[in-house]
Amino acid sequence: MKKTYHGSCHCGAVKYAVELDLAEGTGRCNCSFCAKTRWWSASVKPEAFRLLSGEKDLSDYQWASKQAHHVFCKHCGVRAFGRGDIPEWIGPYVSINIACLDDVDQAELAALPVKYMNGRDNDWMNVPAITRHL
């Protein structure tokens, strides 16, 4: 069931609300960027996301295909969400950093379903051989 969650960066400059059904699943990827930042995500369409504060506090990092905007707070460095447009996959999206949701308790986090993606080998539809470290 969809529910409105609130998220923020560490210093609180960036705050958002998102309508999301966490039971639909979350994702972890083994690509070089996601693995290094320990990114744990759930993606929504842009209309399900509202940035409440901090647009001016965001910096943007792009690499490779430049389809994703890896935004982060320029004060504390936390990546509370990202956004992009990948027409062949999901189209326009906002990717929520699950760890930045402020109103989810630890038991709920531990029970979330996780799908693992093999971005390292550009084999997105198959689970990587090793996932425990993700």
Q: Is residue 109 part of a domain?
A: no
Bridge-partner residues for 40, per DSSP?
28
pLDDT tops 90 at residue 131: no
DSSP per-residue letters across 15-41: EEEEEE-GGG-EEEE-SHHHHHHT-EE
CATH number at residue 60: 2.170.150.70
Q: Is residue 33 part of a domain?
A: no
Q: Is residue 34 part of a domain?
A: no
Domain span including residue 66: 3-26+40-100
Would you call 106 helix, strand, or coil by DSSP?
helix
- In whole angstroms, what is the distance from residue 132 CA to residue 26 CA? 15
Percent of the chain with pLDDT over 70: 100
For Cα atoms 62, 94, 100, give the angle at the middle one, nearest 5 degrees.
Answer: 95
pLDDT tens profile 49-88:
999 999 999 999 988 777 788 999 999 999 999 999 988 7
Non-local (6+) Cβ contacts of 121 within 8 A are 128
The pLDDT, as a whole number, for residue 33 is 87
- At residue 119 the predicted structure's pLDDT band, cuts being 50, 70 and 90, is confident
Number of domains composing the chain: 1
What average pLDDT does the structure give for the chain? 92
Give the other-Cβ count within 10 Å of 67's Cβ. Answer: 13
- At residue 34 the predicted structure's pLDDT band, cuts being 50, 70 and 90, is confident
- At residue 134 the predicted structure's pLDDT band, cuts being 50, 70 and 90, is confident
